[in-house]
Amino acid sequence: MRRLGRHFGEDEHTWALTGLFHDLDQDQTADDPEQHARLAAEWLVASNVDPTVINGVLAHAHPEFQTDRMSKAIVAADAVAGLLVAGALVRPEKSTGMKVSSIKKKLKEKAFAPGVNRDEIAQAEPNLGLSLDEFIALGIEGLQEVAPDIGL
């Protein structure tokens, strides 16, 4: 999200916070998709977090909140992040030297990281105006930026 926000010349800190907070209530809403993100939103409202961040958090789980570029981006970014992390975990060198072409191959392998919603990744093109190649390249760059912190 940080890398994407920067790409669009938007406030990357806001985008990064949305990514950071999006699954904040996961422990408590894992069995309740309707409540997922809504509980997190309550906490974030109580903490006076930027409303655009809260909207983005809600948007990743509830389409009615997908109203602006960031709240659409979180859906595709969440999905591609899952694919990229899975892709890094099966490489000895993790995210170092990761190529768009190899991630696109993983995308087509339905058995690889089956929990990753391919349709959500495909939304980057209509919703963000990014080709699949551009979107994956930005995702790889974003992952590589934080790789030392997360062991990938």
- Please, are residues 31 and 41 in contact by the beta-carbon 8 Å criterion? no
Shorter beta-carbon distance to Fe ion: residue 23 or 125: 23
Give yes or no for residue 134 binding Fe ion (CB under 5 A): no
CB of 106 to Fe ion, least distance (A): 21
Q: Using DSSP, state whether 12 is helix, strand or coil.
A: helix
> Is residue 81 a contact residue for Fe ion (CB under 5 A)?
no
Query: What minimum distance in Å lies between the beta carbon of 23 and Fe ion?
Result: 4
Least Cβ distance, residue 59 to Fe ion (angstroms): 11
> Is residue 23 a contact residue for Fe ion (CB under 5 A)?
yes
8 Å CB contact between 121 and 80? yes
For residue 74, which of 1, 152, 144 has the smallest C-alpha distance? 1
82 touches Fe ion (CB under 5 A): no
Give the three-state DSSP class for 97.
Answer: coil
Q: Which stretch binds Fe ion (CB under 5 A): 6-14, 20-28, 91-99, 136-144?
A: 20-28
Q: Say whether residue 39 binds Fe ion (CB under 5 A).
A: no
From 18-26, 42-50, 92-100, 109-117, give the range in contact with Fe ion by CB under 5 A: 18-26
The sign of the torsion formed by the CA atoms of 63, 1, 127, 140 equals: negative
- The residue count for binding Fe ion (CB under 5 A) is 1
> Which residue lies nearer to Fe ion by CB, 12 or 23?
23
Cα–Cα distance list, 23 to 31, 39, 74, 105, 129 (Å)? 13, 10, 11, 27, 25
Please tell me the distance from the alpha carbon of residue 152 to that of residue 138, in angstroms, as a whole number: 16
Binding site for Fe ion (CB under 5 A): 23
